[in-house]
A = this chain, B = another copy of it.
Amino acid sequence: MTTVLQQAADARGAAIDLAAATRAEKDRALLLMAERLVERAEDIVAANAVDVNNARDIRQPSVGSGVAAGRSDGQSEAMIDRLTLTPSRIEGMADGLRQLAALPDPVGDVVRGSTLANGLELRQVRVPFGVVGIIYEGRPNVTADAAGICLKSGNAAVLRGSGSAFSSNAAIVSVLRKAIADAGLPADAIQLLDATTRDSVKELMRARGLVDVLIPRGGASLIKTVVEESTVPVIETGVGNCHVYVDQAADLEKALAVTINSKTQRLSTCNTAESLLVHIDIADSFLPLAIEELVSAGVTVHGDPRVARYSDDVVPAVHEDWGKEYLSADIAVAIVDSMDDALDHIRRYGTGHTEAIVSESVTATRRFAARVDAAAVMINASTRFTDGGEFGFGAEIGISTQKLHARGPMGLPELTSTKYIVSGNGHTR
């Protein structure tokens, strides 16, 4: 048995006890995990320094080679910033765990129940999945978040973080495992896989029977690989080519506010708008204002030929722009002749994440909401609201863009399955 499969099997063993743990036991563990992270902050920062120094070493060669290097320099500075842990960031991780302890436990919720005609008592009860695999990139604070969310929902977690954060993640997981054991729950409920090789991802994807569900969190290419190659059931998350559709019956002020906020409030998130579709009948009044405000916010407007007529600042859109998740200060803008054209466009290029309409017409918003096939439809509201925190879920493991099991922001209940418990008195058919 390989190391990965052994770790998955260990997690599976721990999951049996964890599934039977009470809310009180789990909350005690979460609070102890939080306390220990803060106590051991110095060690974690030291482990993190290894990762940060490695990242700086890798970056070094490209420095000083002109404009391109300058840009990559800025990018890697941002990357290093995301990678860096400070005592206050560790305090933030601990806070996240404390908030989880305060949330209700989804396990044991009775989803459906009845007494059948023959007297059998039927209950459909929420139960943990068992073992949840999470593949993620980037920031080490995700490690504590993911471990905490899995534990609270009664699941063992098999974590595969990025190689660049491996030393930090190892330090964090070591502290968390010790805390879990000291709280009387099985330390094996959290497993950190070797992130120095691609093999651990491959093996995790084939660990059907040991791992119940796999959640990839990261860029489109990671998610595509996992979806295509995994035999473990996958929940797809996070790729968002979100559109704002400004209907002919839109209020101009709301349309402007929703457009600007959806695009610029934060550039790099999956619920950021990447495309703007404007009904032809409102283009003359809306587009000059929108383009001006977008450009003055530093956004490059990639427009179709009809959009380009409104401003010299518009860059001609190429075909690839329509399907692109920019995650940058760019937006693709098109004029559509009808709402149905907008719906067709969204159907072709959307990723099923979030689609917004701005309109004062009840008929239009009703039709748009019914016909758009996406996790979330925003009516006169920014696409940026599709978020577990904004929706009031308290914790979020990701935003599902698939239709099976969970769609949209995934909170604790989305990390559970159900079980039918049927009680009789010697009942037979």
Q: Which residues of A contact B (CB under 8 A)?
A: 16, 19-20, 114, 116-117, 120, 122, 124, 127, 129-130, 208, 212-213, 227-228, 231, 233-235, 251, 253-254, 257-258, 260-261, 265, 347, 358, 365, 369-371, 373-382, 384-386, 390-392, 402-405, 407-408, 417-429
Contacts and interface: CB of A to CB of B under 8 A. Distances in A.
Contacts of A422: 376-379, 381, 385-386
B424 A380 contact: yes
Q: Which 10 A-B pairs have the closest CB atoms?
A: A381-B424, A254-B426, A261-B428, A403-B417, A405-B405, A381-B427, A376-B420, A233-B404, A379-B423, A404-B405
7 contacts: A16-B371, A122-B391, A124-B408, A208-B227, A212-B404, A376-B421, A407-B420
Contacts of A369: 421
A127 B19 CA distance: 31
A379 B253 contact: no
Contact of A213 (B213, B257, B265, B404): B404
Contact of A20 (B117, B227, B370): B370
A313 to B, nearest CB: 23
A239 to B, nearest CB: 13
A253 B426 contact: yes
A391 B251 CA distance: 50
B233 A116 contact: no
A407 to B, nearest CB: 5
Nearest to A125: B369
Contacts of A261: 428-429
B426 A375 contact: no
Oligomeric state, in copies? 2
Of A114, A124, A265, A404, the most chain B CB neighbours within 10 A belong to A404
A242 to B, nearest CB: 13
A92 to B, nearest CB: 20
B20 A371 contact: yes
B373 A420 contact: no
A153 to B, nearest CB: 12
A380 B425 contact: yes
A306 to B, nearest CB: 26
A429 B377 contact: no
Contacts of A258: 426-428
A419 B374 contact: yes
Contacts of A428: 257-258, 260-261, 265, 381-382, 384
A370 B423 CA distance: 13
A33 to B, nearest CB: 24
B418 A408 contact: yes
A420 B407 CA distance: 8
A221 to B, nearest CB: 16
B116 A429 contact: no
Nearest to A408: B420
B231 A403 contact: no
A116 B392 contact: yes
Nearest to A236: B233
A56 to B, nearest CB: 34
A120 B404 contact: no
Given A258-B428, A379-B423, 6 more contacts: A19-B371, A261-B429, A376-B422, A379-B422, A380-B425, A380-B427
Given A233-B404, A421-B369, A424-B379, A429 B251 contact: no
Of A20, A375, A380, the most chain B CB neighbours within 10 A belong to A380
Contacts of A127: 373
A421 B382 contact: no
Contact of A403 (B130, B380, B421): B130
Contacts of A376: 419-422
Contacts of A375: 419-420
Contacts of A386: 420, 422
Contacts of A371: 16, 19-20
